[in-house]
Structure 1
């Protein structure tokens, strides 16, 4: 498996080995997030539910795991010119913070409709903002221009083995904290989180079930699963702005 996380023949972009390596690489930077439960929700669902609280992660989301792994796995010759990414918010903040800790520039392409609170997080962590239109084509086009102008390395929000490996560290923690768990429900958008969680959890506990959850108004993953190929939607309708991306070739291969 290459450092950039591209698939080699017959292999996923990440595996339990790369996820364990990620844990060692980032554990001094991230929070080991707590598990919480609710007796009310247990009674409503008829199940014993546990919540892995990544809202308490640095940067406010799980994205800091993948961003840290990607940025701290770069060689000094790669990192010196900085990193670039495109994101509506949480990944943007995570890359900005991880780059700040590494002491390198972060160039962040953000769609103009991103929530103000997420844009402010990027500014607070020192990311340099470049604006794009809300479409993925515009985000990618602006990112390419920034890369050409600066020589920065692209840190893709989800379609990158280093990102997938970093997100997979959630399963390493979760199955230490609650080893008896039999099902993990994971939100799905671009698929970086669920790919890492599934690869790690299935390697540790093959019997475990992994369920993907997404809004009805942005159900491209369900449509993709049914069609047997990646489906992209002409528009999405959800307040969950972080769940509007579409699967990439690396995450689809796991999904």
Structure 2
């Protein structure tokens, strides 16, 4: 897919590109951690190939989300920024309302990025959100605005905050600035001189991470394969790829609660054109792989 991907990137205008990703890298460099790349001879032997793990679990905020949030916040001009930023959970987990889940990595990341810039972050959170997620938002300086655990309540509460404050609404993945920020992972990984890197495997949910990674990696080396990994219980991306259009699911069921969002209109074209394949795995495989990494991988 190397030459084909290179040709597509020239012909199709995606939400982000290598220029916006390089700009994001320069913008957020003073604020982010350069996360380590770990490897293990034991895991290499199990897989029958060399594996390298880009450990964004050591990023500020505990996840890659801080890259995109930081880029989005620091991209705002002063007149916009002073009014603050806002997000709410139904932007990314509206389909989880019945199971009352709240995935708060973007909320925490946005809170921290706003704190670093010295502006307010208004985070609309349902009253039944897990305590640990709410505590993360508060610890990073976000202002919690409570809503009822329904999409209607979350959206109306966020709309009220926007009207009262004039803050900027930031989507967790369907945003050029977010995608560009996540793409800095590829630039950093390739700068860390991982030998003979031929494939990058990225978890997929809303598609912000894999879109940025694919756009950056294939711009630098079109021969690099980019594969997505997705839980079988939330396999909308795999279904979308097969159908050639965005597929949403009536419900999702997976231990990977951060991988339950659906593709957006900005991320879908990148996934459609530049992601070479999607691997679906059972929850028991996810748990086993996590256990292996926790036990074997060491900084």
Aligned to 2:293: none
Equivalent residue for 1:95, pick from 110, 114, 121: 110
For residue 267 of structure 2, give the secondary structure of its aligned residue in structure 1.
helix
Whole-angstrom distance in 2 between the partners of 1:204 and 1:231:
30
Q: Who is 1:45 aligned against?
A: 47
Asked if 1:21 corresponds to 2:27, the answer is no
Retained in 2: the 8 A contact 1:159–1:190? yes
Contact preservation (8 Å) 1:84, 1:108: yes
**Alignment TM-score, normalising by the size of structure 2:** 0.79
Q: For each residue in 1:59-99, what CA deviation from the matched residue of structure 2 results, as whole angstroms up to 9, or x when unmatched?
A: 00000000000000100001111000124211111000000
Q: Is the 8 A contact 1:89 1:115 kept in 2?
A: no
Structure 1: segments with no counterpart, 5+ residues: 1-8
1:57 aligned partner: 59
Matched, 1:168 2:170: no
**Displacement of 1:224:** 0.9
For the residues of structure 1 that align with 2:126 and 2:240, how far apart are their CA atoms?
25
Aligned equivalent of 1:192: 208
C-alpha contact 1:84 1:155 (8 A) present in aligned 2: yes
- Return the offset for 1:187: 0.5
Summarize the Cα distance change of 1:143–1:77 in structure 2 as closer, same or farther, 3 Å threshold. Answer: same
143, 160, 163: which one pairs with 1:145? 160
Aligned residues: 247
SS of alignment partner, residue 185 of structure 2: helix
CA distance in 2, matches of 1:187, 1:172: 18
Which residue of the partner structure matches residue 246 of structure 1? 262
Distance 1:191 1:71, change over 3 A: same
Provide, for residues 29-79 of structure 1, a one-character-per-residue CA deviation record: whole Å limited to 9, x for no partner. 000000001222111111110000000000000000000000001000011
Determine the structure 2 residue equivalent to 1:76.
78
2:207 & 2:155 partners in 1: Cα distance? 18
Query: Hey, what does 2:100 align to over in structure 1?
Result: none
Give the Å deviation of 1:111.
Answer: 4.0
Q: Confirm or deny that 1:105 pairs with 2:140.
A: no
Find the counterpart in structure 1 of residue 4 from structure 2: none
Bigger helix fraction: 2
Q: Which residue of 145, 155, 167 maps to 2:170?
A: 155
Query: Which of 1 and 2 has greater Rg?
Result: 2
